[in-house]
Structure 1
Amino acid sequence: MDAILERCAGLDLHQETVVACVLHGSLDRRPKKETRTFGTTTKELLQLQDWLLEFQCTDIAMESTGVYWKPIWNILEDDFKLTLGNAQRIKNVPGRKTDVSDAFWIAKLLRAGLIESSFVPPVNFRDLRDLSRYRRKLLGHTTSEKNRIHKVLQDANIKLSTFVSDLFGVSGRALLESILDGEVLKVDEVKAIVKTSLKKKV
């Protein structure tokens, strides 16, 4: 493999450890190899960052293994050019010896420019995507709870939806709160609670 990077590193990611292998040296000679294992807490990942900076690494590669790569990417992306490689494609590159560690193999492929990087959006887009997913999840939970409340009312033969189009609007919530307070609602009381546009239905 012809080298194109003088100082690079490969990371082998696991749930509790990160194995880092640095290759550094002239392009026309066999590179020096440095290997070290780190934990995955923020403190330990910052130690990994410092260790990579000590060797003046310019490029770092890792496999897109589950979600393990995300916190490491977040910490390293400001200081290095990062490559997120497809795990299956990395394994299928010919020439690997059986006794070669994953981290060394990733570093070796990166040094030769043989890892195609997957697209990783900028941090602001990643944050927005996470927030959007969380919002969809909350909306799903909200819809489920609303449906459950409708069912409870129907089972109790409380026909609030007959008078209120949106049970969870201002008027609907006021009626629900009155029921939860133990009040027995009469027509005049309902008229006093609901908004003007809804009183015609009562």
Structure 2
Amino acid sequence: MEIIYEFCAGLNVHQNNVVACILDGPLTSTRPKKHLKKFDTTTKGLLGLHEWLTEFNCEIIAMESTGIYWKPIWHILQGSFDLVLANPYKIKNIPGQKTYKKNASWIAKLLRVDLIPKSFVPEEPIQDLRELTRLRIMWIESRNREKNRAHKILQTAGIKITSYMTDIFGMSGRNLLNLLINEEKVEDAVYTSLKFKVPELVEGLTGFFRSHHRFLLKQVLDVIDIYNDKIKELELKIAECLEPYQEYVDNLITIPGISEDSAAVIISEFRVNMNQFSSAEKLASWVGLCPGNNESAGKRRSTRISKGNSYAKKILCQCAYSACRSNHLRFKNYYQRISQNRGGKRATVAVAHLITRIIYYMIPRNEIYQE
């Protein structure tokens, strides 16, 4: 194999320490000098790692993406060295050869011959936005779990208001739930068209709702209110971080199915510069929307999509689901054509793949979507 780098380093990252291996040798040498040293992952230890790597004039440094432990090291070394973040699954060592020193040496050897594919690491403003949008998704999912728990309590107590209301956590729904807790009149708790359903709601509220259920429901509603407040705070912070990218957000929401919240997630996961992806197909593959390519002896095996970026894939599939049910013929017809032969789920993934390719060209060109 052709040797690419004279001075390179591999880092084996752990929670409390990091082991660095530097390979030093000319491009014609297949037996370079090896320098190993262990550092703590405190700020003082990482600064010592930075100084030690500088003494050897390292051209490039590779490290595994071990949990979140790589992030402080990346923060200290970025700007001074060319860094490569490696997927541990793609650089596994030979079985039976696993120690922290051998791992660092193995990473350095692979890097020296340029066999480590780079993982995508955006700049810090996009990283901050990404952490905010991912935390918002986590709070929403946690809030949904609490809402399901409230539904369970109501059904256990024989309360059937969900048969007459679409959303029991709207204004009228929350008033009815407070009515159950405080024992007030139904007529004063509902709004709009629900006023005509008061007899049905009274019947739906008639069950065996005891003090035990009242206590459980109040606990769950308090937790839901906490999540609502936290989500509102996050949305304000996300809007503040999105101000430099507002023009791109306005362009993205012209695509059917994409809302402002979806656009925020897309920008946080993709960023606005697509130089890290050589083509739209590469971006779709990174997200995990491309069919698998597994063929042997003329037989094609599983074509299941890869895991990819779960946050981006989930939001794009939601946008695709919404776009397929809109009045825009392009996505609707595309979905119907594929779903006839491949089913609804595969058709939704195909539409998400199409939206991803559209985004790849729209963001760098700063254009709006045209049907």
Q: Which residue of 1 aligns with 2:58?
A: 57
Q: How much does 1:101 deviate?
A: 3.6
User: Is 1:115 aligned to residue 115 of structure 2?
Assistant: yes
Q: 1:118 to 1:170 in 2, by over 3 A?
A: same
Alignment of 1:136-175 (within 5 A): 136-175=137-176
User: Is 1:185 aligned to residue 188 of structure 2?
Assistant: no
Q: Which residue of 1 aligns with 2:17?
A: 17
Question: Which of the residues 195, 202, 227 maps onto 1:199?
Answer: 195
Return the alpha-carbon distance in structure 2 between the equivalents of residues 80 and 197 of structure 1.
64
Are the counterparts in 1 of residues 8 and 61 from structure 2 also a CA contact under 8 Å?
yes
Are the counterparts in 2 of residues 90 and 115 from structure 1 also a CA contact under 8 Å?
no
Q: Secondary structure of 2:197's match?
A: coil
Paired letter, 1:185: E
Return the alpha-carbon distance in structure 2 between the equivalents of residues 51 and 89 of structure 1.
25
Are the counterparts in 2 of residues 90 and 106 from structure 1 also a CA contact under 8 Å?
no
Q: How much does 1:18 deviate?
A: 0.9
Query: How much identity, in percent, do the aligned residues show?
Result: 50
Return the alpha-carbon distance in structure 2 between the equivalents of residues 149 and 37 of structure 1.
52
Q: How much does 1:167 deviate?
A: 0.7
Structure 1 residues 176-195: Cα deviation after superposition (integer angstroms, max 9, x where no partner) = 23433x3x233xxx222222
Q: 1:199 to 1:20 in 2, by over 3 A?
A: same
Return the alpha-carbon distance in structure 2 between the equivalents of residues 86 and 157 of structure 1.
51
Are the counterparts in 1 of residues 110 and 116 from structure 2 also a CA contact under 8 Å?
no
More helix by share: 2
Q: 1:6 to 1:170 in 2, by over 3 A?
A: same
The root-mean-square deviation of aligned C-alpha atoms, in Å, is 3.3
Paired letter, 1:176: L
Return the alpha-carbon distance in structure 2 between the equivalents of residues 163 and 89 of structure 1.
56
Q: 1:152 to 1:59 in 2, by over 3 A?
A: same
Q: 1:119 to 1:86 in 2, by over 3 A?
A: closer
Q: 1:43 to 1:191 in 2, by over 3 A?
A: farther
Paired letter, 1:17: N
Q: 1:145 to 1:105 in 2, by over 3 A?
A: closer
Q: How much does 1:48 deviate?
A: 1.8
Are the counterparts in 1 of residues 64 and 87 from structure 2 also a CA contact under 8 Å?
yes
Q: 1:63 to 1:161 in 2, by over 3 A?
A: closer
User: Is 1:79 aligned to residue 75 of structure 2?
Assistant: no
Paired letter, 1:58: E
Q: Which residue of 2 aligns with 1:91?
A: 93
Return the alpha-carbon distance in structure 1 between the equivalents of residues 111 and 192 of structure 2.
70
Return the alpha-carbon distance in structure 2 between the equivalents of residues 159 and 54 of structure 1.
72
Structure 1 residues 57-83: Cα deviation after superposition (integer angstroms, max 9, x where no partner) = 220022344554344334433322122
More strand by share: 1
Q: Which residue of 1 aligns with 2:360?
A: none
Instruction: Name the TM-score, length of structure 2 as normaliser.
Output: 0.43
Q: Secondary structure of 1:83's match?
A: strand
Q: Which residue of 2 aligns with 1:8?
A: 8
Q: Which one scores higher on RCO, CA 8 angstroms, separation ≥ 6?
A: 1
Q: How much does 1:20 deviate?
A: 0.9
Q: 1:106 to 1:132 in 2, by over 3 A?
A: same
Are the counterparts in 2 of residues 63 and 69 from structure 1 also a CA contact under 8 Å?
yes
Return the alpha-carbon distance in structure 2 between the equivalents of residues 63 and 152 of structure 1.
46
Are the counterparts in 2 of residues 164 and 171 from structure 1 also a CA contact under 8 Å?
no
Aligned residues: 190
Return the alpha-carbon distance in structure 1 between the equivalents of residues 187 and 167 of structure 2.
16
Return the alpha-carbon distance in structure 2 between the equivalents of residues 128 and 26 of structure 1.
42
Return the alpha-carbon distance in structure 2 between the equivalents of residues 85 and 143 of structure 1.
35
